[in-house]
Amino acid sequence: MNAAGQTLASCCAELYELPIVEYLLGRSFHPGGAKLTRQLASGALVSPNSAVLDVACGNGNSARLIAADFGATVTGCDFSAINLRRAAATSRSTRLDVKTQFVRSSAEQLPFAAGSFDVSLCECSLCLFENMGNALEEVHRVLKPGGRIGISDFFLDAPVPGSLDGLLGRVLCVAAAESADGYREALTRAGFECVRIRIVNWTLADMIERVQHRLHLLATVSVSPRPVLPVEWGDPAPVLEDLESFIASGGAGYLIATARRF
Amino acid sequence: MAAIQRPYQYYDSTISICSTCLKRVDAKIVFQDGCVWMLKRCPAHGPERVLIADDIGYYKLARETFIKTPEQVIAPNTSVRYGCPYDCGICPDHEQHGCTLLIEVTDNCNLRCPTCYAGSGPERQTHRSLEQIERMLDRAVANEGEPSIIQISGGEPTVHPQFLEILKLARDRPIGHLMVNTNGVRIANEPGFAERLAEFTPGLEIYLQFDSFRADVLKALRGTDLRSTHNRAIARLNETGIHTTLVATIRRGLNDDEMGEIIDYGTQQPCVRGITFQPVQAAGRLEGYESGYSMVRDRLTLTEIRRRILEQCPVFAPEDLIPVPCHPDHLAMAYALKLDSGLVPLTGLVDPEFLIEAGRATITYEADPAVREHFLNLFSTHHSVTSQTDAMSDFLDKLGRSPPKRLGYANIFRVLIVEFIDAQGFDLRCIRKTCVHIVHPDGKRVIPFDTYNLLYRDGLEKAVLEPLRKRDCVPLNGPISLARYQDPGSRSP
């Protein structure tokens, strides 16, 4: 992995370790929460017999959800050591450690043999990777023939307004997102077939509402422990409003994509 | 102290039957390891744990979303005395009319399949008389008014010496669709037979046994290599243009890897309008299993078949293969457009609400003019590409952005999964919703396919059912659901 990739991967991973991020986004860091994770896993044909790789697994919530609800065996990989420790501890305390394991790794260099997994999921993280193509090729490598990939992410079909190009926009993955066709092409280039894309913009409406509500609470009542809003973020409220109108205008949205390894 | 937790999620309680003695037993439905299980206990034969589904999300979708108000027969045939499933039928407590009614015209068959729920074969010589068959047809009409689908079955119905007269008797009655459930041997072997059948079209469809492309599989399921029979039968049906559904009986580990190939084959045959996949029902003759049929090794559920179809036929996504609302746990379907460029799934584009509210003919939606029109309207030009989901733009892409001029009923292709209920997975809630029924040869009763093969077929009623009724039943002496409900606040004295 190149130096730039490492910097970005660790920078983003550190961002997601901030208590404020969990406070604002909830335990499931991606739009759509558990409902979308279930839809994604179903779309990628996760079954009780599946060996699943959750790329950029964060605190392991989705990995545990898939282990519990689908009966699958899930390996989560993430760049953040803190997230991984937390993931492993929660799995132990919820007795899902038999079905889940967590490995520190970059998405662009997965420490697994070729053909190790039936399904690989990548929730709301693909657009954060320095080189999406490399990550997809790695996923392709570690999947068995006939295995499925499931992606959920922002897509971007118009230039990003300047106000969204900052750090908060980055947390919300908007600024770095691909176009819907871009995901399709990237998957095809990485060797996947039967690409299927579904637009799921309801997830964004839910998420923005949640973040707004949380910011409101932060400003009006005493929250304990009180997470710190980094000064350099500025006032997030106008950014969220801009984001809402950008989505409404069709400039951006959220999608899930599934595809099959040839 | 930490609370002691169950290893499962408790979902429901129900009534089942013991898979050994068929006595009614208490049961639970639980979720564990991503699967739906039934736990039950027979006082005499002990506890059982049975796989109901390997997809909790789909199971819940079927139970919680795809529910519609039950449609009833015109008049029930039996009264409720012993309680379900010992009063079939149709009894006043059944919760669905018959979408498909089978009339078994003979016990005789020109094959002797190791697996046959009806236990038919060449050694059984009984053909029903035309008078008896008329009584059975009249029973179907009396129950349903205009039965949606009557399936002439057996045995092998085409070996009946008066087979064509039977078709005439059926045609003279108000029947929506007439199907002939056949192994295709006579169609393949007898010159001119397909042409005779074609005289009954439109309105007659062939339900053609078609399990595999492999000789060893056909030998295991059918006792003989039917490949050339299949080829000749399909060729004749293509020539005569008789609408045909291929019916594949699926046995775990034998042909459950061939479903995608069967769908592909079906899309290439002009006569084929759809495929029905049925896992083997553990009933009737179950020979050819090493040391006998094994629940753990051989049983196959609907969700397992559905998953295999999705794996083997990537044109279908999970949202394309959905529960059929009249009997959602045990019927799943996908509709697609059959075009020169391949199949284009339709079901995922339709709001489930629409299908749940749709008309009466629920197994064959396409037979309902309103539904057919809706499917065909999906690709009318007023859909703007940008306003639609990606599925719709895929769809329009395949159509070349302009609908073919002569798209119609013939372009609609159906994939159906029918899981008949066995004693293992027997759930009274589902049994009350079954909608594939068999007209009893007595012409007086119509009995769900599932319970017919377990308790009512041939000698079973006397040998198995009667002792259960006598020994193990507290008579119920009346239906749970009254014909006309009184004021909800009052109780009858």
Contact B56 A69 (CB under 8 A): yes
When CB atoms are compared, the residue of B35, B57, B315 closest to A48 is B35
- Each domain of chain A, given as residue ranges in start order, spans 3-261
Helix (H) / strand (E) element for B392: namely helix B390-398
Bridge partners (DSSP) of residue B489 are none
User: Across chain A, how many H-helices and E-strands are there?
Assistant: 10, 7
Q: Which residues of chain A lie closer than 8 angstroms to B349, CB-CB?
A: none
Q: What is the DSSP string of B109-160?
A: -S---SEETT--BTT--PBPPHHHHHHHHHHHHHHHSS-SEEEEESS-GGGS
Beta carbons of B406 and B337 less than 8 angstroms apart: no
More confident residue, B401 or A117: A117
pLDDT (tens place) for every residue of chain A, 262 residues total = 333 334 344 445 566 667 887 788 776 667 888 999 999 999 999 999 999 999 999 889 999 999 999 999 999 999 889 989 999 999 999 889 999 999 999 888 999 999 999 999 999 888 777 788 999 999 999 999 999 999 999 888 888 787 777 655 565 555 567 888 899 999 999 999 999 888 898 888 888 888 888 888 888 887 777 787 777 777 888 888 888 888 888 888 899 999 999 8
**3-state secondary structure (DSSP) of residue B98:** coil
3-class DSSP state of A262:
coil
Superfamily grouping for domain A3-261: Vaccinia Virus protein VP39 (3.40.50.150)
Provide φ and ψ at A22, rounded to 5°: -65, -40
pTM above 0.90, yes or no: no
Non-local CB neighbours of B322 within 8 Å, separated by 6+ positions = B61, B66, B332, B333, B334, B347, B348, B352, B355
Token pair 């004021």 is found at: B487
For residue B387, what pLDDT band results from cuts at 50, 70 and 90?
very low
A48, A146, A194 ranked by CB distance to B34: nearest: A48
Q: At B342, is the pLDDT very low, low, confident or very high (cuts 50, 70, 90)?
A: confident
pLDDT > 80? residue B393: no
- Judged against a pLDDT cut of 80, whether residue B277 lies above it is answered with yes
CA–CA distance from B488 to each of B70, B481, B484, B485, B491 (Å)? Answer: 19, 12, 11, 7, 8
Chain B CB contacts of A198 under 8 Å are 389-391
ipTM of this complex prediction, to 2 decimal places = 0.83
Least confident of A18-27, B416-425, B469-478: A18-27
| Integer Cα distance of A108 and A151 in angstroms | 15
Is the bond preceding residue B318 a cis peptide, omega within 30 degrees? no
Q: Is A78 helix (H, G, I), strand (E, B) or coil?
A: strand
Cβ atoms within 10 Å, residue B202: 11
Nearest CA in chain B to A98: B33
> Helices in B446-486 by DSSP H: which ranges?
449-451, 460, 466-472
Chain A residues within an 8 Å CB radius of B307? 45, 47
ω into residue A150 within 30 of 0, thus cis?
no
What average pLDDT does chain A have? 85
Q: How far is CA B457 from CA A161, B238, B451, in A?
A: 72, 35, 9
**Could you tell me the CA-to-CA distances from B299 to B252, B278, B423 in Å, in that order?**
7, 12, 12
The residues with which B147 forms a beta bridge, in sequence order, are: none
What is the Cα–Cα distance from B80 to B337, expressed in whole angstroms? Answer: 44
Phi, psi of B25 (to 5 degrees): -135, 160
Alpha carbon B468 to its chain centroid, in Å, reads 27
C-alpha closest to that of B440 among B423, B456, B454:
B456
Give the Cα separation of B171 and B476 in Å (integer).
40
Distance, CA of A167 to CA of B355 (rounded, Å) = 46
Task: Give the one of A70, A146, A250 whose C-beta lies nearest to B34's C-beta.
Answer: A70
Smallest CA–CA distance, residue B55 to chain A, in Å, is: 7
Q: What SS3 state is found at B345? A: strand
Mean pLDDT for the stretch of residues B220-237: 96
For position B88, what pLDDT does the model report?
94
CA geometry: angle at B253 spanning B303 and A52, to 5°? 55
pLDDT for the residue B390 = 44
